[in-house]
Chain A
Amino acid sequence: MNAVSPIVCCLLCAAVMASSGLLSFLFARTRSVYLWLGCLGGVVGCILGAVAVFAARLSPGRSDLRVQWNLPVGSFHIGIDAISSFFLLVLCVVCASTTFYTLGHIGAQRGARGAAHQLGWSNLVMAAMVMVLLARDALLFIMAWEVMSVASFFLVTCDHERDDVRRGGYVYLVASHIGTVFIFLHFAWMYRHFGSLDLDQWAAAQSGRAVPSAPAFLFALIGFGTKAGVFPLHFWMPQTYCAAPSPAAAMMSGVLKKLGIYGIIRAVLCMGQEPSWWGVTLVGLGAVTGIVGVLLALSARDLKRTLAYSSAENIGIILLGLGLGIMGKSDHNPVLAFLGFGGALFHVLNHALFKGLLFEIAGQVLLQTGQLNMNLLGGLLKRMPVTGALFLIASLAACGLPPFNGFIGEWLLYVGALDGAHSSDPHVAIVAVLALAALALIGSLALACFARAFGATFLGNPRTPAVDRAQEGGALLLVPMAALAALCAALGVFPLWGLRLASPAIAQLAGPAPVPATASSMLRSFSHLAVALLALAAVLLLARWFMLRRRSVNRAATWGCGYIAPTPRIQTSASSFSYPLLTNFNAVVAQRANRFPTSSVFAAEHQQTLEYQDIAAERWIFPFVQALSNFLTRLQVLQQGRIQLYLLYLFGALVILLGWQLLVS
């Protein structure tokens, strides 16, 4: 293992992914060739990436590679440090599962050409993400980021015959590039300040100095926040995730959004001593993103939309953790710093695992029933028992309930917030208490959201005949999903493994203080509690089976309080489940119920529509974009389509520039 250079391994990983992607395009006519080439290439690339991560752990310290290139600025400088290797591990695990899943997903579908392109772009996105994680030079970073954005745009619009897919892809492209502009501004600001484009030089020059710059931080936050889906820049998510094919949505939600978080972390690291207002900003943004995200998830009818908004909620939790960690660092509280950053990084890993699994299952549901509207599903558990069980595990993990892995990350953040409440600095204490309240609210709303999603889709009676043709998927589809679920359970019951994985990255973020002993003892005690919980549940189930074995057990219709003609449509739907809850949050998610007046005294039918409005998107972003578009349309008068006019513009611009040069020099 020591002989394997981590850098070479990572480069090989990116190369294998990129080449298998390009080969998939080349062999787009032959289905078996591109399918196996693309998927095996992706999985082999992920394995190489995981090998690189473990090789990097065995040879601690930074390893990098620097090559001069022909461009006027920068150099080809790549390196792998603790944080890069942690995110690379997350990427490899989730992408291996989604690529494997793509094999079964495409195999179960008709239609050849779109599938080859999907695989090709998917592998290219993975390769670009690996390069983003490795890049140590700002120009190389931007180049890899752009390739990632454009390739993921093409990945999202694979099914481009459909109108909503094109629209979703377009919104994604625009949002991506808004983010890229701000990232570019951030790098330009740092270049002007330092005179070089090397990220390592920025970090080395700043360490110990307390002169960070606010505009650089804000540019980085807006730029990377657009990719991560921070409020109010989360508007692109639902349309994009509904438009993208399900394996792509799984990869994008699990890994691509984390690259936004990686960017924020890298920017904060490069800027050295962080003032505490950055931490307060991140905590505030995180709390708002989390609460708005989960409320919008409760209002969505489409399963993939719910999962997309729930990703925003989890990004909010991660940002909250980063904010708490930064506050801990500036307050010289190593425990708070460790718990804040630790909780954030744990949640990065856990969210990637359970969200990837949730999107894969949503893809299965769409494939089998052709329907993602939760108000038209129901009763899928009896037809797809294994898939339903995996969705239950993923939902419990997403709610952050013990004994699954989602609880661990949130638990570290709670303990961090309670520790921060003891701080002598009143600002830190107040923000910590607010973070605690926000986390509790997000947690309870998430419980409602996932109980609703699982209950409406899998439990109860089928609401429409679309459910009747659903079947369990083959082993090829179930194995990658079950692998992710097993990881969710394992990291929940044995969280010390997760701590061992994440501790180099946490140490790089929080400072060189050693792992607080309380953290490991906490997680060990929780292990015991989780095992006790499972054992108790088993004992009670055994006792129940024993008691019912010799008694009469009958089946009957559900008690309906004497109502003699129940239909599947009278059961609680997804919309009616969340209606009482969302009535209380009208200021955040505007609820509009149109009740058409009843026509006669003994009315035979009644009609009502209920819709929810995302305030940030519908009242701020989209009207602003529309106004901007209207203004820019007026400038179309410049584009007459005649080449003589364009030549005149060129001539005019040359004259002006030459005149300027003459006047200035």
Chain B
Amino acid sequence: MAIRILHIAWFLLMPPLLLGVINRVKAWFAGRRGQPLLQTYWDVARLFRKGAVFSHTSSWVFQIGAAIQLAAVFCAAIILPSSSPVSPFGFVGDVVAFAYLLGLGRIFTVLSALDTGSSFEGLGASREVTIATFAEPTLFLALAALCIPAHGISFGHIWGAATGDANLWHRAPSIAAAISLFIVMLAESSRIPVDDPTTHLELTMVHEVMVLDHSGPDFAFITLGSALKLFLMGSLILHAILPNSFASTGAQALTFFVGQLAIAACVGVVESVIARYRLNRVPQFLIAAAVVAVLAIAIQFYRGVA
């Protein structure tokens, strides 16, 4: 029971902190002090206290879109393990359910954008599905690379079986899969170099412009959803890299916490150092990530682990 509460507490409380860390790292690179680390929590609380403005054009699809998106991402968070290697709610085949729940969230954001009848939001929606077309197969290939040595098709199997071998040649597939997952994380949570989360102008219109019309509690749901997606992909990367053998639950939780902050800091560094790619280079970027994942699978087949 305590494990279940801890698991739910992780993804309810931690994700907005990651956004704060990313913003602070970007500010440090820019020579500024930056917003407080807990700013996103205050933002979400403020948005919950506000009213809303809806467009004349939008219908009930817009009204339910943000809530269903958050519900879908919450369900994906329930089945993904957090600090412990096995989620208390996992089951066989939950890797696929995870990816498709994120897809459910995505389609409702896209439909809410199309519902406003705005050319900006429609453009953002079409770019979002273009990027997702290349990000999803990459995600599946990376998950397959992690599943193959585990002889099981559940997150619990993958990370229950990880031994944390020190030999780099044995760890290479996991590290390659982690690199691939990092690139997918940049695409899924709409970070540079795929999208710019700070503007919604034409050049960087993907996610930010899709949620242009959302206000009040709806925008709070959207913010929580994207922070949660960042947390979930960071979880995946940590579980791919970190060994499973820890002294106690406390040490494991602490490593998980520090690891998530480290990944958020990496995202902040990437955002400060690279500029956003031209839109026709983003599919090439994602296909490169897919090739890295295929490399991970090929290494395992070659070694005969399967």
Contact = CB atoms under 8 A, between A and B. Distances in A.
Interface of A: 378-379, 381-382, 385, 392, 396, 399-402, 407, 410-411, 414-415, 418-419, 421-424, 426, 429-430, 433, 436-437, 439-441, 443-445, 447-448, 450-452, 454-456, 459-461, 518, 521-522, 525-526, 529, 532-533, 536-537, 539-541, 543-544, 547-548, 551-561, 568, 570-572, 576-581, 583-584
Interface stretch (B21-29, B51-59, B163-171): B51-59
A381 B111 contact: no
Contacts of B59: 381-382, 459
A451 B213 contact: no
A554 B53 contact: yes
Interface string B32-72: 00000000000000001111111111111100101110111
A440 B92 contact: no
Nearest to B221: A540
Contact of B111 (A455, A529, A556, A580): A455
A558 B79 contact: no
Given A540-B71, A541-B64, A554-B51, A422 B148 contact: yes
Interface of B: 48-61, 64, 66-68, 70-72, 74-75, 78-79, 89, 91-97, 99-101, 103-104, 106-107, 110-111, 114-123, 125-127, 129-130, 132-133, 135-137, 139-141, 144, 147-148, 151, 153, 212-213, 216-218, 221, 279-280, 283, 290, 294, 297, 301, 306
Contacts of B130: 448, 580-581, 584
A201 B297 CA distance: 45
Contact of B100 (A407, A426, A445, A543): A407
Contacts of B75: 529, 532-533, 536
Given A444-B133, A547-B48, A580-B130, A451 B92 contact: no
Contacts of B50: 551
Contacts of B91: 521-522, 525-526, 529
A451 B57 contact: no
Contact of A576 (B48, B55, B126, B290): B126
Closest 3 CB pairs of A and B: A572-B122, A455-B114, A551-B51
Contact of B114 (A382, A430, A436, A572): A572
A21 to B, nearest CB: 41
B78 A555 contact: no
Contacts of A450: 107
A572 B67 contact: no
Nearest to A423: B306
Nearest to A420: B306
Given A414-B96, A447-B106, 5 more contacts: A424-B306, A451-B129, A459-B59, A577-B125, A581-B129
A437 to B, nearest CB: 5
Contacts of B136: 440-441, 443-444
Most chain A C-beta atoms within 10 Å of own C-beta, residue among B55, B57, B75: B57
B213 A559 contact: yes
Contacts of B67: 537, 540-541, 544
A269 to B, nearest CB: 28
Contacts of B64: 537, 541
Contact of A421 (B74, B79, B96, B147): B147
B107 A451 contact: yes
Nearest to B64: A541
Contact of B117 (A396, A558, A584): A558
30 contacts: A382-B59, A402-B97, A402-B101, A410-B96, A411-B93, A414-B93, A419-B153, A422-B306, A436-B141, A439-B140, A444-B132, A454-B111, A461-B117, A525-B92, A526-B91, A529-B97, A547-B48, A553-B51, A554-B51, A557-B56, A561-B120, A570-B119, A571-B122, A572-B125, A577-B126, A579-B126, A580-B126, A580-B279, A581-B126, A584-B283
